[in-house]
Structure 1
Amino acid sequence: MSHNRQYTDDFTSVNVDSDDNVSAQSPQSSSDPKIQKLKQHVNEVSNIMQQNIDKILERGQRLDHLEDRSEMLSNRADEFRVGARRVSRKMWWQNTRVNIFIAIVVTVIILIIVLSITSSTTGK
């Protein structure tokens, strides 16, 4: 059931029905060029604002996607840092073992040379 109420002022009359539908009626005809120009301008501004809202929503989605990617990159960087530290320690120990082995071999060779020289001088 719809009851219409009408409000008027000096410039326009507005019809309001019980469903809160509002329609404005101008005393001037809708074919007035100024009104048409104004309506066209309002439509243009409305379209521009709608495009701006769409762009903002797209930008928000891109920012969310970028945030997810940066968080994933940060996690992978942490994993890389841990793995690099582990490999670095492993390589340090391996290098240390090789150096110790070389030192032992050189020491043994020097001992063999020294012993062979001392045994040959004492045996003469």
Structure 2
Amino acid sequence: MLRSAADNANPAGGEAGPPAAPPNTTSNRRLQQTQAQVDEVVDIMRVNVDKVLERDQKLSELDDRADALQAGASQFESCAAKLKNKYWWKNCKDLLHFIHIVHTYRDGEIQHQAKKEWESRGG
């Protein structure tokens, strides 16, 4: 569309103002603003992707540590059960020794008592 000098005239009736910016310049400015916004979004997305990759690496390391901890816990549980069993049997053995000692002592006392009675009867 062609513009005439009357189109550029001031509505108040004064001289014509500066010519309107060509539509191409406005379009270029909008394109530059849009490109700047796109560049900003791309930069933000790159940072986000880097953070996701770091998070993934940290989660992988944490998973490895959890697996190692689980293996250690299983080994501890197994060793603790063996140790408990070992000391249970040791306790049984010690109890049997104690019972044997008490029994031997009582047998000795009974024999001593019987000998005393036998001697007191003239034997």
**Paired residue for 2:86, among 85, 90, 114?**
90
Residue 116 of structure 1 and its aligned partner are, at CA, apart by 1.1
**Paired residue for 1:78, among 67, 74, 79?**
74
Q: What secondary structure, in the 3-state scheme, does the structure 1 residue paired with 2:61 have?
A: helix
Residue 111 of structure 1 and its aligned partner are, at CA, apart by 1.1
- Is residue 123 from structure 1 mapped to residue 119 from structure 2 by the alignment? yes
Render the CA deviation track for 1:72-102: whole Å, top value 9, x for unaligned: 1111111111111111111111111111111
Higher helix share: 2
Residues of 2 paired with 1:31 and 1:83: CA distance? 77
Higher strand share: 1
1:11 maps to which residue?
none
Number of paired residues?
Answer: 98
2:97 maps to which residue?
101
Q: Normalising by structure 1, what TM-score?
A: 0.69
**1:104 corresponds to which letter in structure 2?**
H
**2:85 corresponds to which letter in structure 1?**
R
Residues of 1 paired with 2:93 and 2:27: CA distance? 96
Q: Normalising by structure 2, what TM-score?
A: 0.70
2:19 maps to which residue?
none
Render the CA deviation track for 1:10-56: whole Å, top value 9, x for unaligned: xxxxxxxxxxxxxxxxx834895433332222121111111111111
Q: Please list every run of 5 or more consecutive structure 2 residues that lacks an aligned counterpart in the other structure.
A: 1-22
Q: Please list every run of 5 or more consecutive structure 1 residues that lacks an aligned counterpart in the other structure.
A: 1-26
Give the root-mean-square deviation of aligned CA atoms: 2.0
Identical amino acids, percent of aligned pairs: 29
Tell me which structure has the larger Cα radius of gyration: 2
- Is residue 69 from structure 1 mapped to residue 43 from structure 2 by the alignment? no
Alpha-carbon spacing, 1:77–1:30, altered in 2? closer, same or farther (3 Å):
farther
